[in-house]
Amino acid sequence: MSKVTVVGAGNVGATCANVLLNNKIADEVVLLDIKEGVSEGKTMDMMQSAALLGADTRMVGVTNDYSATKGSDVVVITSGIPRKPGMTREELIGVNAGIVKSVTDNVLANSPEAVIICVSNPMDTMTYLIHRESGLPKNRIIGMGGALDSSRFKYFLSVALGANINEVEGMVIGGHGDTTMIPLKRLATYKGVPVSSLLDAEALDKVVADTMVGGATLTKFLGTSAWYAPGAGAATVAKAVLHDEKRIIPCSALLDGEYGEKDLCIGVPCLLGKGGIEKIIELDLNAEEKELFAKSAAAVHKTNAAL
């Protein structure tokens, strides 16, 4: 029996729970929120959709009752305030750090063996905070951001190519921020063909630029942070762990010498399986990519210093 807890029943958390439920990723899903009635109401609505869609996952919604989360294999933390138009992810650090620390303490008191997936922003720094406060082995703490950024990169590539999005491969590494992420245009492919041979430099640079402000663009449109892709991204990472998929997904991981960095959580390709992050994949970056990664790492270190 597999069990996933999603902490935070806002748009992202509820979407994650809905993907877990209707794709039958876990046997049991717990949706927890601090606000009375929100998780219960959304759970009831989702379970009624499950009756229509044929999902048989058990799901419960609770208000601040961490005892219901006991024995979770994976915990997804989405808690915190979302971005508003014009805000950076980094500006959320003050409020969200306290929330994430409290949630982590409560989660681990009930599920000490869980793998934790962090979605809360600023995501790299919140992932680092969980490492620092929990003392868990580094493989059991995963920041979701790279999975989301890479899906956005694939989307913009597919639009530029007029291609099926599922036949496009693209990866984003670096910090989960509008100026710190690094879409690896050199390594992007369409059915194995380098995208650089299919798009001119101007078109490819536009794809990169659109990817980097992908979250801000949606926040401007919606008036708040996006939720469908972030929720699906968290559920995808959870599935890779629960089902021991041995899948390579870019995630924020604690580095210990990889890519020339230490004591830093930042987006890198990770092999995900039952143990969480089972291996960090070191790409053979060229000089330009190494320089971009170093600048990104410096920016994330600076945000971490605010903790």
Strand, coil or helix: what is 37? coil
Position 199 scores a pLDDT of 98
User: Which residue in 50, 99, 101, 57 sits closest to 79, CA to CA?
Assistant: 99
* 260-272: pLDDT as tens digits: 999 999 999 999 9
- Percent of the chain whose pLDDT exceeds 90: 92
At 19, list the tokens.
């993907």
Q: Would you please indicate which residues are annotated as catalytic (active-site) residues?
A: 176
User: What CATH number labels 146-305?
Assistant: 3.90.110.10
pLDDT of 180 over the 90 cut: yes
* 196-238: pLDDT as tens digits: 999 999 999 999 999 999 999 999 999 999 999 999 999 999 9
Mean pLDDT, the chain, rounded, equals 96
User: Which residue in 265, 307, 235, 17 sits closest to 123, CA to CA?
Assistant: 265
Average pLDDT over residues 280-296: 98
* 82-115: pLDDT as tens digits: 767 876 767 778 788 999 999 999 999 999 999 9
* Owner of token pair 């929330």: 99
Q: Cα–Cα–Cα angle for 219, 307, 171, nearest 5°?
A: 50
Average pLDDT over residues 143-156: 98
Instruction: State the span(s) of the chain assigned CATH 3.90.110.10.
Output: 146-305
pTM of the model: 0.96
* 35-63: pLDDT as tens digits: 999 999 999 999 999 999 999 999 999 99
Q: Judge if the upstream peptide bond of residue 194 is cis by omega within 30 degrees of 0.
A: no
Give the count of beta carbons closer than 10 Å to the beta carbon of residue 35: 11
Classify domain 3-145 at the CATH topology level: Rossmann fold (3.40.50)
Instruction: State the span(s) of the chain assigned CATH 3.40.50.720.
Output: 3-145
Amino acid at 277: I
At 135, list the tokens.
């003392």
Position 135 scores a pLDDT of 94
